Structure formats: structure tokens, C-alpha cells
């Protein structure tokens, strides 16, 4: 927040040139994809498989988003799915202790959006991510979380200085602005868009599928959160690598996964069949009971 204020004040008197906007955009997409493609779809839900290079790259990019270590993030998200919108969910806006009426909505929204991060972690890593702990590479990436966060600030700062030199502007001014826009402001934007999946997408939007909770598809978050806003789709089919299940549901993270698959860099990509989707639609007739053969 402080970085945003500083950036706005500087922008007001001096403007921001294309290197800062480019760094902001590139770092947002890169670290955001590290969360959506890496932390979420690969590590938490194992919706596809990847080799050591891709695994390391997207694990490090996700860490640069500064949303917590890989193991801690995945444990919290698996707990969210286990108790979604019920007691035990770490960031539901619908729990009874938020109150009722407008005050309850505001309190629930704040808790789901960012208030929950101030609560002590309530999930055991041994219970929720034992598979990830057994992987030495993943465990090491998680342990080095502070280093990756620092690199997430150093890299845009250095690139900002070099880009300034390329256009004949002062190097250290570029370092400062790269740190502000590619670092601090970028982290703030990535955080609030990610948190909107927890808050906005459990309050406002459509629910085409039966999911057993209040998860919803929200088109605005769907685009801004790189495909994560198709949240009802995701809760109906948690292991699907594709969240935007309809042709018009833009899912840029799915496009990245498909591109990596075409290059042979990922495999075992999981998506629900047409039959599974049809069976989970809210207006679908209930499945006929199975009749056991008396013989």
C-alpha cells in the first residue's frame, strides 16, 4: 500500500514511462501464473504433471508472489476445499461468527479477502501436504521462500535500471521505479486479485454446477485472476486443469498449460468429460439409483 502511494505521488509529478508499465505487467503475469498454474493447479490439485525444470520454475515464480511458502499455501487451500464454507474453512465469508445483515456481509467479506491471513495457521503440514513434503525439490523451494520473495523485488529493480539506460534515462531512477511498480505495487495487485477469489467468488456470481458450497463464477475475477474466477467450475471439478469450462470463459492459465503440453513439457493433463459436466449441472436430473442384482 505504501508502495502504491509513493508510486502515485511520483507519477503525479513526473509520469510513468513504458519500462515501469512493462515491468508491472510482466511481473504480474509471471508471478500470478506461478500461483494459478503452479501453487494451485499443479502442486495443490495435481491437475497435471511436470518435469523438474518446469516444476522448479513455476514453484519459484509462485513464491515471488509473496503469498506464503509453497507448502503452507497448498495446505491452506486443501483445507479450504475440505471444509468449503463450513466450520474449518480458513477463509469463508459465510461462517456464523461473521454476524448477520449488512454488517455480517462486510465482516465476512473482509475475513475472506484478507482478515484470515492474520489468524494462526490451523492446518498441519504433515496432514495436508505429506505428498509434497516427500518431494525433496518441492520441500527445498518452500524452505527458500524468503529468497524467492527478495528476488521478486531485485529482478524488476535491476531491469528497471537497465531499461532506463536503454532509453537514455538515469539508471538509479529506473531501479527505484522498477522496485516500486514491478515490485511493491505488483505484489499488492496480485494479492488483492488472488484474495478476490476467496471473497468475491464466494458471494457474487453464477453457480451452474452443484458443488456443495457457495463458490461462484465471476467473469471479472475470471479474467483478472488469470482464469481462477471460474470458481464454481473449480469447486465442482477440483482436479481439472481447466477452470473456464465453456469456450467463452477466458482462462489464460489453461492456455499456458495447453501450450506447455503442446511443447511436451507437461503431461497427464486432467479435465472433466462432457458426461461428468452434464451430471453435475444444477438443472440435471438426479442419477437413477443403482439396482443390485439379487443373484
User: 68 versus 121: which is more confidently predicted?
Assistant: 68
Domain-located, residue 289: no
At 294, is the pLDDT very low, low, confident or very high (cuts 50, 70, 90)?
very low
The tally of domains found in the chain comes to 1
> What Rg, from alpha-carbon coordinates, does the chain have?
21
Domain-located, residue 284: no
At 15, is the pLDDT very low, low, confident or very high (cuts 50, 70, 90)?
low
Residues facing residue 230 across a β-bridge: 217
Residue 21 has pLDDT above 90, yes or no: no
Kindly give, in sequence order, each residue whose CB lies less than 8 Å from that of residue 209, ignoring residues fewer than 6 positions away.
232, 233, 235, 236, 237, 277, 280, 281, 282
Domain-located, residue 69: yes
pLDDT averaged over every residue in the chain: 92
At 293, is the pLDDT very low, low, confident or very high (cuts 50, 70, 90)?
very low
Residue 46 has pLDDT above 90, yes or no: yes
Q: What percent of the chain has pLDDT over 70?
A: 93
Average pLDDT over residues 217-239: 98
pTM of the predicted structure, to 2 decimals: 0.92
Domain-located, residue 248: yes
Residue 171, phi then psi, degrees to nearest 5? -60, -50
Taking Cα atoms as reference points, which of 221, 217, 230, 153 lies closest to residue 193?
Answer: 221
At 121, is the pLDDT very low, low, confident or very high (cuts 50, 70, 90)?
confident
At 162, is the pLDDT very low, low, confident or very high (cuts 50, 70, 90)?
very high
Domain-located, residue 58: yes
Domain-located, residue 154: yes
Residue 117 has pLDDT above 70, yes or no: yes
Residue 287 has pLDDT above 60, yes or no: no
Residue 167 has pLDDT above 80, yes or no: yes
Domain-located, residue 205: yes
Domain-located, residue 196: yes
Residue 295: the pLDDT is: 38
User: Which residues span the domain enclosing 110?
Assistant: 2-274
Residue-wise over 67-103: b if at least 16 C-beta within 10 A, else e? bbbbbbbbbbbbbbeeebbeeebbbbbbbeebeeeee
At 105, is the pLDDT very low, low, confident or very high (cuts 50, 70, 90)?
confident
Amino acid at each position: 500500500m505504501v508502495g502504491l502511494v509513493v508510486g502515485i505521488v511520483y507519477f503525479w509529478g513526473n509520469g510513468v514511462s513504458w519500462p515501469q508499465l512493462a515491468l508491472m505487467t510482466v511481473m504480474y503475469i509471471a508471478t500470478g501464473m506461478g500461483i494459478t498454474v503452479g501453487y494451485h493447479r499443479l502442486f495443490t490439485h495435481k491437475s497435471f504433471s511436470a518435469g523438474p525444470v518446469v516444476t522448479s520454475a513455476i514453484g519459484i515464480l509462485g513464491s515471488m508472489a509473496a503469498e506464503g511458502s509453497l507448502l503452507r499455501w497448498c495446505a491452506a487451500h486443501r483445507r479450504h476445499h475440505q471444509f468449503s464454507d463450513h466450520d474449518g474453512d480458513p477463509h469463508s465469508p459465510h461462517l456464523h461468527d461473521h454476524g448477520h445483515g449488512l454488517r455480517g456481509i462486510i465482516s465476512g467479506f473482509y475475513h475472506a479477502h484478507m482478515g484470515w491471513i492474520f489468524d494462526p495457521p490451523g492446518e498441519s503440514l504433515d496432514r495436508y501436504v505429506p505428498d509434497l513434503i516427500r518431494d525433496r525439490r518441492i520441500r527445498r523451494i518452500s524452505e527458500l521462500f524468503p529468497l524467492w520473495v527478495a528476488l521478486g523485488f531485485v529482478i524488476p529493480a535491476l531491469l528497471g535500471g537497465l531499461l532506463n539506460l536503454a532509453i537514455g534515462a538515469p539508471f538509479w531512477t529506473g531501479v527505484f521505479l522498477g522496485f516500486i511498480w514491478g515490485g511493491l505495487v505488483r505484489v499488492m495487485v496480485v494479492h488483492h486479485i488472488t484474495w478476490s477469489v476467496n471473497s468475491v467468488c464466494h458471494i457474487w456470481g453464477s453457480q451452474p454446477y452443484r458443488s456443495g458450497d457457495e463458490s461462484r463464477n465471476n467473469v471479472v475475477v475470471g479474467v483478472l485472476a488469470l482464469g481462477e474466477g471460474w470458481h464454481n467450475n473449480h469447486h465442482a471439478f477440483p482436479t481439472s486443469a481447466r477452470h473456464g469450462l465453456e469456450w467463452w470463459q477466458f482462462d489464460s492459465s489453461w492456455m499456458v498449460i495447453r501450450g506447455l503440453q503442446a511443447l511436451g513439457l507437461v503431461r497427464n493433463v486432467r479435465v472433466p468429460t462432457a458426461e461428468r459436466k452434464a451430471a453435475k449441472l444444477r438443472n440435471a436430473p438426479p442419477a437413477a439409483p443403482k439396482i443390485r442384482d439379487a443373484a
